[in-house]
């Protein structure tokens, strides 16, 4: 403690930042299943379902909507800091050329856009204004997925060297999430389209299930900052310092 400030490890901030949406996710889904879920009335098709989509959980239910929005608002601000830190990390560790610098910049703006689209799809529900919600959701998925591709490419092909076990663990986890998401997104799209086309029982629930898995994978992916910045110290106070 110095000059009225305080010092924390960045791992503390990462845990807090990812804890907000994770706790809200679990709480909102459980509340909906226990108190609000209608197996036959959860979609316009009025067929049996076993899960709601997450968009309906946080877009239609009260108090789920308010809990999710508050947690996303608290979650979003530190994510801009993490995006900047990853840009600086890659610029420091990667063999720089005109192309690698462009990929680093691209990845930075993908991260920023992902956060903004997450805020948009959270605060504008599908029942309030579907075109905006849909655009934000698609943008969120695309920027998240492309950013994963760029990040893994930069770390694998552009001279990035992990310096400790934590960074090695982070890279392996990122690759596993990328491979898993490559299967989850097409499955989610398939069940969404099949539901809209045929209105079969349980199909929309499978869309919701894979939607849940994509969202949880996104949280774990961004939680890798816990390992990537394990030795970063964040100081707050009159003189704000971010030191490694």
Query: Is 5 a domain residue?
Result: no
Closest CA to 192 of 214, 177, 219: 214
- Residue 19 and residue 13 in contact, taking contact as beta carbons nearer than 8 Å: no
**Full domain range(s) for residue 203:** 10-232
Query: Is 80 a domain residue?
Result: yes
Query: Which residue shows structure tokens 């389209």?
Result: 193
Alpha carbons 180 and 23: distance in angstroms, whole number: 23
Q: What pLDDT is attached to residue 2? A: 38
- Residue 125 and residue 133 in contact, taking contact as beta carbons nearer than 8 Å: yes
Query: Is 1 a domain residue?
Result: no
Query: pLDDT-derived band of residue 3, with 50, 70 and 90 as boundaries?
Result: very low
Residue 111 or residue 130, greater confidence: 111
Query: pLDDT-derived band of residue 71, with 50, 70 and 90 as boundaries?
Result: very high
Query: Is 60 a domain residue?
Result: yes
Number of domains in the chain: 1
Q: What pLDDT is attached to residue 34? A: 92
CA angle 133, 193, 127 (to 5 degrees): 30
Query: Is 117 a domain residue?
Result: yes
Q: What pLDDT is attached to residue 137? A: 92
Query: Is 175 a domain residue?
Result: yes
Q: Report CA torsion sign: 117, 147, 232, 226.
A: positive
What is the 3-state secondary structure of 182-222?
HHHHHHHHHHHHHHHHHCCCCHHHHHHHHHHHHHHHHHHHH
Q: What is the mean pLDDT of residues 209-228?
A: 96
> Which of the residue ranges 5-14, 20-29, 173-182 would you say has the lowest mean pLDDT?
5-14
Query: Is 2 a domain residue?
Result: no
What percentage of residues in the chain have a pLDDT greater than 90? Answer: 66
Q: What pLDDT is attached to residue 44? A: 75
pTM, 2 dp: 0.90
Q: What pLDDT is attached to residue 41? A: 63
Alpha carbons 244 and 91: distance in angstroms, whole number: 15
Whether residue 231 is predicted with pLDDT greater than 50 in this model: the reply is: yes
Whether residue 118 is predicted with pLDDT greater than 90 in this model: the reply is: yes
Whether residue 1 is predicted with pLDDT greater than 70 in this model: the reply is: no
Whether residue 95 is predicted with pLDDT greater than 90 in this model: the reply is: no
Q: What pLDDT is attached to residue 161? A: 85
Q: What is the mean pLDDT of residues 168-186?
A: 96
Query: Is 239 a domain residue?
Result: no
How many other C-beta atoms are found inside a 10 Å radius of the C-beta of residue 85?
A: 17
Got the DSSP string for 83-142?
HHHHHHHHHHHS---HHHHHHHHHHHHHHHHHHHHHHHHHHS-TTT-HHHHHHHHHHHHH
């Amino acid at each position: 403690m110095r000059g009225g400030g305080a010092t924390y490890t960045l791992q503390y901030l990462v845990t807090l930042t990812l804890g907000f949406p994770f706790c809200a996710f679990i709480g909102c889904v459980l509340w909906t299943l226990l108190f609000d879920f209608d197996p036959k009335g959860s979609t316009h098709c009025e067929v049996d379902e076993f899960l709601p989509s997450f968009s309906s959980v946080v877009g239609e239910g009260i108090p789920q909507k308010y809990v999710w929005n508050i947690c996303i608002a608290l979650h979003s601000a530190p994510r801009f800091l993490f995006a900047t830190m990853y840009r600086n990390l890659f610029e420091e560790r990667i063999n720089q050329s005109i192309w690698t610098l462009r990929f680093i910049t691209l990845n930075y703006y993908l991260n920023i856009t992902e956060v903004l689209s997450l805020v948009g799809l959270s605060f504008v529900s599908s029942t309030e204004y579907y075109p905006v919600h849909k655009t934000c959701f698609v943008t969120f998925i695309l920027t998240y997925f492309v950013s994963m591709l760029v990040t893994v490419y930069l770390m694998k092909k552009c001279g990035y060297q992990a310096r400790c076990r934590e960074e090695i663990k982070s890279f392996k986890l990122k690759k596993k999430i990328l491979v898993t998401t490559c299967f989850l997104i097409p499955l989610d799209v398939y069940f969404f389209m099949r539901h809209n086309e045929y209105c079969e029982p349980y199909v929309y629930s499978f869309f919701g299930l894979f939607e849940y898995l994509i969202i949880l994978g996104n949280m774990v992916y961004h939680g890798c900052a816990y390992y990537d910045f394990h030795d970063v110290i964040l100081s707050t106070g009159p003189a704000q310092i971010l030191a490694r």
